[in-house]
Amino acid sequence: MSLTSQAIPPAVVVSARRPRRSHIRGREGVGGWLFVAPALAGLTLFVILPIGLALYISFTKWSGTTSPFGSGAKWVGIDNYKALLTGGGLAQQDFARSVENNFYFVLLVVPIQTLLALVLAVLVNDKFLKGRGFFRTAFYFPSVTSSVAITLVFIFMFRGDGPINRVLSFFGVKGPNWFANSNGLIHNIVGLFGVHSPPGWAKHVVFTRSIWDWISGPSMAMCAIIVLVIWTTSGTFMLMFLAALQNISEEIDEATAIDGANAWQRFWRVTVPMLRPTLLLVLTLGLISTWQVFDQIFLTGNNPTTTTPAFLSYATSFENFNFGQGAAIAFLLFALITVFSSLQRFLLRDKDAEQ
Amino acid sequence: MSARPAAHPARRTVFYVLLTAFALIYIGPFAIQLATSFKTDPDATSHSLSLIPHPPTVAAWKRIFGFTSDTSVDFPLWLLNSVIVSTAVTLARVFVDSLAGYALARLRFPGRRAVFSLVLATMAVPGVVLLIPRFLVIKELGIYNTYAAMIFPIAMDAMGIFLMRQFFLQLPLSIEEAARIDGAGIWRTYWYVAMPMAKAGVLTLTILSFQGSWNEFAAFLVAGDSPHLYTLTKGLALFQGGLGTGNQYPLTLGAALLTTIPVAIVFFVFQRRFVGAQLSAGVKG
């Protein structure tokens, strides 16, 4: 972002005016390396080296109990990747399922949390609002808490006889036992119109699953996790929109008001276009983090309809001791996240700025 | 949008109703959590929506703080481990990140550009992709099931280095120059001149590091399997998983509340700073 454009430090400018003696520069050479050494050692040891190691493991069969070097891990070439992407075996079925689950998760969480964050930001940005600080704190607080702690609260909230279903029963709706319910949202909705089995075209099998299965929609269990995640993260994104809204000068707003635009037109024609950079940031951050959802899945676990690639990678490695396959899933996820976030950046690029 | 209140009293009412409804949705779960922690197990499930425990009991809290003979769940130990690990991680991050940030902002050394690019590149690596790799390194180093395995992998972060670099770049250079001309070395200039001026940045990084390491879960999961090293997050997650059907909600939700409180305190004490910290963390790209 704009911050990185300061890559040339002021020091360069200053020292051109007043050159320092070379031995001080020489000390800076050594000192600079000494200063970055701990960080560099840490990043190398716990980020860069591990990635290389895991890439190697993804081409082997390794159970995680012995050293991966020497005879511990057996080289199998691209077999792990092949098993995940072709062949129709269990590995591919599970992987396809996890991608589908995560896809519905992203599809619902990202737009809803972005819209909700924007609405909340506009509401608490109101100059005349009483108790502004209170509302901001209330909306933001869930974002700072531990995902484990919050997920436990929501497991209770979404119990069969939990608070959510009691509230729903006031409106005459009988809620399911959310986290134990694997019915797809779309299947449920078309079920209301009497469609309970796949029409002919939906019986085709694509990538190990029938079209009917692919379009099931998120399961009720996944819907509960979707609500949880939207509730937790919308506060952070609200803050980002709020900071951007406060930067939009009031004069622009007032000038357009004098021009006869009403509040609604001003919002869509003036404010939203000016929020574009923030919108891109919120969407990108949302997209990257939703493809990584893990803690919530781990805690609500043991439901095939909520398994995500991140969790599948963990479970394959640490529960089924197939680290090669697990590492391969992690790298496919890495590739997926990279593709989606660059695609999104491309689609939302500022066309005016390019001219 | 509704910035003309006097003109639209009806719209104003809708506005406040909407806000209050949202506030209820955001605060409600915490209120239910607090109330549930003072309930009996049957009361918690049969009157899950009620905010008044009937009968009220502190049984769950007694068990959380270790005042019962039941030691199957060792909350005090988990709390201690959380304090140890997050304190160590926070101190390490503030020191290591600010050192590197200072060097990248101020010191001219061969390879600085390359180091900075490397830092930026590691920021793009998704955290969950690192779970298996980190487990591998922890095993190879022979530190599996130690505090070191929980602390070192997250004791430095690229984002913190980037943040500190930005903070140091914003400082006026003249004061540091003066110190250098007066004969202060690189270390003294960093520690006695630049660091005190970068207090805001140090505080921001401290808050982010504490929050991050206190709430961390996945990294601890792959660092060991010894119950002696459970933190609050890991202990809670595995305890809950072990319950299966799970009817001890007052206990679980009370312990979850305990996990939330330290970060909540930091949040309310440093609220302004906290918001700034979140924003600067968001603009990292």
> How much of chain A is helix, strand and coil, in % rounded to 5?
70, 5, 25
In angstroms, what CA-CA distances link A253 with A112, A263, A354, B260?
26, 9, 26, 40
Say yes or no for a CB contact (<8 Å) between A36 and B99.
yes
Say yes or no for a CB contact (<8 Å) between B119 and A43.
yes
Contact (Cβ atoms closer than 8 angstroms) between residue B103 and residue A32: yes
- Measured CA to CA, the distance from residue B225 to residue B220 in angstroms comes to 9
- In one-letter notation, the amino acid at residue A73 is A
Query: What count of CB pairs under 8 Å joins A to B?
Result: 304
Q: Where are the domains of chain B?
A: 5-64, 75-282
Give residues 280 to 309 of A whose Cβ lies within 8 Å of B: 281, 284-285, 288, 291-292, 294-295, 298-299, 301
- In one-letter notation, the amino acid at residue A155 is I
**Which residues of chain A does B115 touch, with a Cβ-Cβ cutoff of 8 Å?**
36, 40
Q: Which of A302, A318, A307, A330 is closest to A80 using CA atoms? A: A330
List CB contacts of B149: < 8 A, sequence separation 6 or more. B138, B141, B143, B223, B224
- Measured CA to CA, the distance from residue A159 to residue B48 in angstroms comes to 9
pLDDT bin (cut points 50, 70, 90) of residue B284 is very low
CATH architecture of the domain with residue range B75-282: Orthogonal Bundle (1.10)
Read off the pTM: 0.87
The Cα of B114 is separated from the nearest Cα of chain A by a number of Å equal to: 11
A80: tokens are 């792990």
Contact (Cβ atoms closer than 8 angstroms) between residue B155 and residue A42: yes
Q: Which of A131, A109, A139 is closest to A239 using CA atoms? A: A139
Checking if the pLDDT of B181 tops 90, the result is: no
Question: CB of A310 within 8 Å of any CB in chain B?
Answer: yes
Say yes or no for a CB contact (<8 Å) between A152 and B236.
yes
Say yes or no for a CB contact (<8 Å) between B186 and A27.
yes
CATH 1.10.3720.10 fits A83-183+219-354, yes or no: yes
The Cα of A307 is separated from the nearest Cα of chain B by a number of Å equal to: 14
Task: Provide the residue count of chain A.
Answer: 355
Mean pLDDT over B101-108 rounds to 92
Query: Quick one: DSSP state of residue A269?
Result: I
Pairing of the two strands A209-210 and A74-75: unpaired
Question: CB of A323 within 8 Å of any CB in chain B?
Answer: yes
Q: What is the pLDDT of residue A37?
A: 92
Q: In which element (H, E) is residue A74 found? A: strand A74-75
Per-residue model confidence as pLDDT tens digits over B223-265: 998 989 999 999 988 876 544 445 688 888 999 999 999 998 9
Say yes or no for a CB contact (<8 Å) between A135 and B19.
yes
**Which residues of chain B does A68 touch, with a Cβ-Cβ cutoff of 8 Å?**
136
Checking if the pLDDT of B69 tops 50, the result is: yes
Say yes or no for a CB contact (<8 Å) between B282 and A285.
yes
Chosen from B109, B122, B239 to mutate, greatest number of chain A CBs within 10 A = B109
- Measured CA to CA, the distance from residue B265 to residue B193 in angstroms comes to 30
Per-residue model confidence as pLDDT tens digits over B199-215: 888 998 998 899 999 99
Q: Which residue has the higher pLDDT, B87 or A72?
A: B87
Say yes or no for a CB contact (<8 Å) between A126 and B110.
no
Checking if the pLDDT of B26 tops 70, the result is: yes
Say yes or no for a CB contact (<8 Å) between B126 and A327.
no
Chosen from B129, B161, B231 to mutate, greatest number of chain A CBs within 10 A = B129
Q: What is the pLDDT of residue A297?
A: 92
Mean pLDDT over B266-276 rounds to 79
Contact (Cβ atoms closer than 8 angstroms) between residue B177 and residue B107: no
Q: What is the pLDDT of residue B54?
A: 83
- Measured CA to CA, the distance from residue B105 to residue B87 in angstroms comes to 26
Cβ-based neighbour number of residue A58 at 10 Å: 23
- Measured CA to CA, the distance from residue A224 to residue A249 in angstroms comes to 39
Contact (Cβ atoms closer than 8 angstroms) between residue B271 and residue A137: yes
Question: CB of A27 within 8 Å of any CB in chain B?
Answer: yes
User: What is the pLDDT of chain B when averaged over all its residues?
Assistant: 86
Question: CB of A339 within 8 Å of any CB in chain B?
Answer: no
Q: What is the pLDDT of residue B144?
A: 93
ipTM of the complex in this document: 0.89
- Measured CA to CA, the distance from residue A102 to residue A222 in angstroms comes to 9
CA dihedral A303, A308, A310, A316 (to 10 degrees): 50
Task: Provide the residue count of chain B.
Answer: 285
Which residue numbers in chain A have pLDDT < 50? 1-23, 354-355
**Which residues of chain B does A292 touch, with a Cβ-Cβ cutoff of 8 Å?**
126-128
The Cα of B271 is separated from the nearest Cα of chain A by a number of Å equal to: 9
The dihedrals phi and psi of A61, each to the nearest 5 degrees, come to -110, 115
- In one-letter notation, the amino acid at residue A301 is G
Distance of CA B201 to the CA centre of its chain: 17
Beta-bridge partners for A206: A209
